Amino acid sequence: MKILVLNGPNLNLLGQREPGIYGQTTLAEIEKALQQKAKGQGNELELRQSNIEGELVGWIQEARGSFDVIILNAAAYTHTSVALRDAIAASGVPTIEVHLSNIHAREEFRHKSLIAGVCVGQIAGFGANSYLLALDAAVNIKAKK
Ligand code: CA2
């Protein structure tokens, strides 16, 4: 199975700033752990990060026909982007929403996810492990198909 892992704005700074909220693990370290786990599962991963909303939209559109599942941490765009929501719905690729922090236990503006309604499910609050749990969920989605 082919899985596309997308990370949104500022996640490239992980482990370098605000370790109190987002932990000390860098994005490169998360990606390495994901690659290792995916290899063990026999899955193929492609990992991308962008600070640009339109770039994320383009990647989601292009995923149709090329990827079986998308794992997406849309970061701040989670709470603002109708464009990302529409792209997920249009692509038809099952998408798992991921967050490092528990967005429901934080500021009120983070409680609302505009993408949640078009995703298969949401994994939030487990730090870097949220991504690894999402890989398990991806395998489960595929197995059910
Ligand atoms: O908890 C998550 O994974 C978030 O998607 C992270 C976003 C935030 O806007 C969402 O509400 C929840 C923020 C990502 C910014 O990451 C940084 C990492 C290090 C330093 C500064 C920002």
Q: What is the DSSP string of 44-110?
A: EEEEEE-S-HHHHHHHHHHHTTT-SEEEEE-GGGGGT-HHHHHHHHHH---EEEEESS-GGGS-GGG
Give pLDDT, residue 19. 82
Mean pLDDT (the chain) is 96
Are the CB atoms for 97 and 137 separated by under 8 Å?
no
The pLDDT of residue 21 = 85
The whole-number pLDDT of residue 29 equals: 97
Residue nearest to atom 9 of ligand 1 (CA): 76
The question of whether 99 is a catalytic residue gets the answer yes
Statement: residue 143 has pLDDT above 90: no
**Cβ–ligand 1 contact at 27 (below 6 Å):** no
Q: Cα–Cα distances in Å, from 91 out to 15, 23, 57, 128?
A: 32, 32, 10, 26
Ligand 1 in reach of 129 Cβ (< 6 A): no
Q: Residue 145's pLDDT is what?
A: 64
> Of 99, 104, 111, 131, which one is the catalytic site residue?
99
Q: What is the pLDDT of residues 47-87, one digit of tens each?
A: 999 999 999 999 999 999 999 999 999 999 999 999 999 99
41 with 135: CB under 8 angstroms?
yes
The number of domains in the chain is 1
Boundaries of domain holding 99 = 2-144
Would you state the pLDDT for residue 18? 79
Cα–Cα dist 52/81, whole Å: 12
Residue 37 identity (one-letter amino acid): K
Task: Give yes or no for residue 12 having a pLDDT over 80.
Answer: yes
Residue 97 has a pLDDT of 98
pLDDT tens for residues 26-42? 999 999 999 999 999 99
Question: Are residues 110 and 141 in contact, defined by beta-carbon separation less than 8 angstroms?
Answer: no
Render pLDDT for 87-107 as a digit per residue (tens, 0 to 9): 999 999 999 999 999 999 999
Q: Give me the CATH number covering residue 53.
A: 3.40.50.9100
Distance of alpha carbon 25 from alpha carbon 34, whole angstroms: 13
Q: Is the CB of 115 under 6 A from ligand 1?
A: no
